[in-house]
Chains A and B, each alone.
Chain A
Amino acid sequence: MIKKLKSPYWPLHLMLLPGLLLVVIYSYGPLFGIIMAFQKFKPAKGFFDSPWAGFDNFQYVLDMPDSARILWNTVIIALFKIVAGFIVPIIVALLLNEVRKDVFKRGIQTMIYLPHFLSWIILGGILIDILSPSSGIVNQLLAWVGIEPIYFLGDNRWFRQVLVMSDVWKEFGFNTIVYLAALTSINPSLYEAAIVDGAGRWKQTWYVTLPGMMPIIVLTLTLSLGNVLNAGFDQVFNLYSPQVYETGDIIDTFVYRIGLIDAQYGVATAVGLFKSVVSFAFISISYYLAYRLANYRIF
């Protein structure tokens, strides 16, 4: 019985090996690459031979006139998305819950889930077409009721609104799923008891449905905390232009431009590191809260 002397775990280790190896290279490698934030990085010299720069890269960003504005844009866009993207799905789930005809309900669900599965390239292309000030159908409709054409994607007074609304448009349907699942798990006898006690529809919603959804509401809200610096790179990158940098330039787009367009690798890494550290703090807090409040664990 030589086999017994060997660790019984080796097949399990072996299964993990390929995935682990690639994760170490492509996820942990970049973590090591963070040292670029403290270097005057030259790609030809690599991580090991580039000269050190101390905190110069950070100082450089702090001295830039735009940095406060970019941080503010990021936070304000992200917060509006979190709030709007949190409220709308709950309302829609409650409305869907009142629909008794299954065919109608399924039809609605099919349509509102769709935008979630399309990329921001497709949706961005659609938005650019329909919001165009010259030929877009939205401005045609506005002209119909006597409103002057609005350059939604090129006007700083409108750009953030477009970002928040189109983000809600993409995700609200899909985000109703978790709430609808929670609604089906509410014990029907609670409603019967409420009716016996004389509760009408509104009171049933208020005293039975909403409390039944509370755990999942708390969970989604705490988990969304981790997104305070995620203003949505895919979306912003495909909709913005230099005219709306003032209201729409966010950390991620800024990192892309100074890093990959201007090739200021060290500076861009420093900005990215700032975002990673702050996000890490928020994500950790949110997971901890989700664990304490809703007994949620990732693994």
Chain B
Amino acid sequence: MVERLTTGRRVFVAVNYALLLFMSLLCLLPLIHVLSVSFSSSEAATAGLVKLWPVEFTASSYQFVLAKPAFLTSVGVTLQRVAIGVTVNMLLTILVAYPLSKEVTKFPYRTVYVWVFVITILFHGGLIPQYMIVKYTGIMDTIWALVLPSVVPVFNVVLLLNFFRGLPKELEEAAFIDGAGHWTTLWRVIVPLSAPALATITLFATVGHWNSWFDGLIFMNSPEHYPLQSYLQTVVINRDLSLVSSSDMKSLMEVSDRTAKAAQIFLGALPILLVYPFLQRFFMKGIVLGSVKE
């Protein structure tokens, strides 16, 4: 469509571009600022000289952070929770989504099961009862405390079951005619066809596990079992000096609290930034998947 550009339209377009650019910078610049602080010398950072580019460039705060055993241990815990948590999440999401994607005529018990899961998103027991259940089931201070309480992400189940429903029914029927049961059909026909949806949900689950911090804070008794985000909560947000060892203290003086915090903030965000291009490609699909309803 060829349109004649009036003066008013030109002004609008210019203002619009400026406004949108301003909003995107608002989202990006704080991160760039913190990144610049993390690569600046402690004197420059403390004196507030750093704007959007490192002043007196140095990577010493990264050397300091990456040499801290507590930091590295927490990264290890996070990697462990992501590996175990996402695997179990995905397995259960698939296993729950498949039966629930059946029509009521094909699986009469569907309604009952759906309600069992719906109730969990409508009504919560609350923080303290959840804490007690984790305590009484004996998983406190283990990796399972970070995995089991949120083991079936209901919204991911909804996304996936909607995707399953969108697949051509003929494929499944053909599999049944060839003598395949539900298990074979699920793993050999449905799952291979659902790669885009599964990729989306895997990413959602990964980001979710990477970003979780509160469960680590309350379910882990000892700081060396903290996942990264819980550890960052204690050092970046709540400066807990008990977690800073005396040798750390000495090097901290050289590194400055501010640049060290900035480096840790950036390292905590880094994996998300790395998978972000994939995330962006997939989540649009994910949202669209979720909106497909019959």
A residues neighboring B (CB under 8 Å)? 9, 11-13, 15-16, 18-20, 22-23, 25-34, 36, 43, 46-47, 92, 95-96, 98-99, 104, 107-115, 117-119, 121-122, 124-130, 134-135, 137, 140, 169, 172-173, 177-178, 181, 201, 233-234, 237-238, 252, 255-256, 259-260, 265, 268-269, 272-273, 275-276, 279-280, 283-284, 287, 296-299
Contacts and interface: CB of A to CB of B under 8 A. Distances in A.
Given A30-B130, A299-B100, A181 B125 contact: no
A173 to B, nearest CB: 6
B269 A118 contact: yes
Contacts of A104: 17
B9 A125 contact: no
Given A16-B96, A268-B127, A299-B100, A114 B287 contact: no
Interface residues of B, number: 96
Nearest 9 pairs between A and B by C-beta?
A: A30-B125, A272-B126, A33-B129, A111-B24, A119-B211, A30-B129, A11-B182, A12-B99, A29-B133
Interface string B259-281: 00110110011001000100110
Nearest to B109: A9
Given A16-B95, A36-B128, A181 B152 contact: no
Nearest to B23: A112
Interface string B158-180: 10010000000000000000000
A160 to B, nearest CB: 19
Contacts of A135: 45-46, 48, 258
B30 A126 contact: yes
Contacts of B261: 125, 129
A9 B116 CA distance: 18
10 contacts: A16-B96, A16-B100, A26-B151, A114-B27, A122-B268, A125-B237, A172-B23, A272-B126, A272-B129, A273-B126
B20 A25 contact: no
B116 A23 contact: yes
B149 A26 contact: yes
Contact of A92 (B23, B37, B120): B23
Interface stretch (B56-64, B228-236, B245-253): B228-236
A241 B13 CA distance: 44
A6 to B, nearest CB: 12
B20 A99 contact: yes
B262 A129 contact: yes
Nearest to B15: A95
Interface in B208-266: 210-214, 218, 229, 232-233, 236-237, 258, 261-262, 264-265
Contacts of B118: 298-299
Given A15-B96, A121-B237, A298 B126 contact: no
A33 B127 contact: no
